[in-house]
Structure 1
Amino acid sequence: MMVIVTPIVDAVGPILRGRVLFAVPTRAPRFAVTLDDGPDPATTPAVLDVLARHGARATFFLLGERAAAHPDLVARIAAEGHELGNHTWRDEPTWRLPVDEFAAKLADTRRVLEEHGLVRWFRPGSGWPTARHLDVTEAAGLRCALGSAVAISGAGAGTAGTARSLDAVIARGGVLVLHEGPGRAAVPATLDALLARTAARGLDAVTLSTLADG
């Protein structure tokens, strides 16, 4: 299957402009690496090994139920200098959730994650928040972040050609979205190959906060 890279800024940017971060205008040669749907013993340790090998940093948008089940992995993510992000409690479309239920799941996830470190960012499930969900997010002191390059094939983990396709669209200030977790064993290899390519172009892989804070 051919890898599809989706610049979702064009699709939803005009609707959510100013409330959602898609990319960061910067002259610095860096981009943000973000990974959704962890932590998971099948992928997270290997992803962390890849990041360490490249001297890269990433933001992990974690699911509350998986973080609660694997606190050792959350602790390792934080201890190795990566950033924690709130991806709500389980893998489901945020836009379908009643606002009260969403608020509760957002808060439950935040409590689990903040045992390990600061949480500044939120990413909705299935990539689409409503204005009311954003109201709740912002009231909680979190900012919503989506991305500028998203791997679609391989359940979002990637396939053999993903790194090449992503490298063609990642530029300074961009935000990469990959997915880990069950059935996504390809993501460490995808990330490894991509980081080799971006490093060759002089781009550093950093956390979302490092990118946003300049």
Structure 2
Amino acid sequence: MEHGDVPFIPPERFPGVPGALQLVWDKIAFRSSISFFGSFASSDSLWYFDVDAHPGVRNYVALTIDDAPCRLSPKNSMLPQVRSLLKQHGAQATFMLLGKFIAGNEDALADLLKDGHELGNHCLIDKSYMNWPLEDFEDAVDECSSRITSLQRSAGVEEGVRWFRAPHGRLNAAMSGILKRKGLTNVMSDTYACCPVIQDGDFIGKFLGKTAQHGSIIVIHMPERGFREWCWVGLQTLLCQLRERGLTAVSLGRLVELSHTVAL
């Protein structure tokens, strides 16, 4: 389990904790607070684009989906449903992959690439690498990137991995140096609903939808059958909310491109 060979399913939280966190989160979790507190655990990271400095991002947000593709087994995967939902809304996303869970999901991931979505490196397992030897962290980064480039090759799209998201958001200066040498940018976010703990999909989607701003980077976790299925409702609600507000969900790569353009 420690090395990701079998899925880790967290124990039930104490009754009332998700609901209590939901009430608190609705009051305190906004761009400034998320970026401020997250900066203590991560440096040299991309959080969002300020529309005043980057007018080209107006009306656009980046949608990132963590812990893809599916940690239980390929039969639990909801990648086809997520792919269909994104297509229905004309949305693009960057899927942050856990390398240990790619096997058995290759065809579905290749289909995402063919649709224009992106794949990012979320390391091999969903565990902080802060206390691991640096060489082990580097090996994990390289292995996940190698598996992603293999998927890109099979899908016939341009090869190369640009984005990394540190598991649990934990990253130190030495780890940042490794990422920099490999041409990887650690991506955090300014729009997050704590969806691994808060298990209310309607709240998650509405919270993300109302707090997203021009140039935001949104995080939601990958739903799968039997694990975090509430994120499926959250994603549906979020996409509807964005559409109502006139915001278009794009991949990280596309948002970076837009940040370099001058709005008309």
TM superposition score normalised by structure 1: 0.91
Verify the 8 A CA contact 2:63 2:94 in the aligned structure 1: yes
Structure 2, unmatched stretches of 5+, are 1-18, 71-75, 153-159, 259-264
Equivalent residue in structure 2 for 1:191, among 207, 232, 235: 235
Equivalent residue in structure 2 for 1:11, among 21, 37, 40: 37
Report whether the alignment pairs 1:73 with 2:108. Answer: yes
Letter in 1 for 2:136: E
Report whether the alignment pairs 1:150 with 2:192. Answer: yes
Offset, 1:93: 1.0
Offset, 1:25: 2.0
Offset, 1:68: 3.0
Q: Which residue of 2 aligns with 1:101?
A: 136
Verify the 8 A CA contact 2:65 2:221 in the aligned structure 1: yes
Letter in 2 for 1:196: C
**Looking at CA atoms only, which structure, 1 or 2, has the larger radius of gyration?**
2
Q: Which residue of 1 aligns with 2:13?
A: none
Structure 1, unmatched stretches of 5+, are none
- In 1: Cα distance, 2:233 partner to 2:126 partner: 23
Offset, 1:97: 2.2
SS of alignment partner, residue 93 of structure 1: coil
Distance 1:158 1:137, change over 3 A: farther
Q: CA RMSD in A?
A: 2.0
Q: Would you identify which runs of 4 or more consecutive aligned residues in structure 1 move more than 6 Å? A: none
Distance 1:209 1:92, change over 3 A: same
Verify the 8 A CA contact 2:162 2:185 in the aligned structure 1: yes
SS of alignment partner, residue 10 of structure 1: helix
Offset, 1:159: 2.2
Equivalent residue in structure 1 for 2:66, among 14, 33, 36: 36
Verify the 8 A CA contact 2:145 2:161 in the aligned structure 1: yes
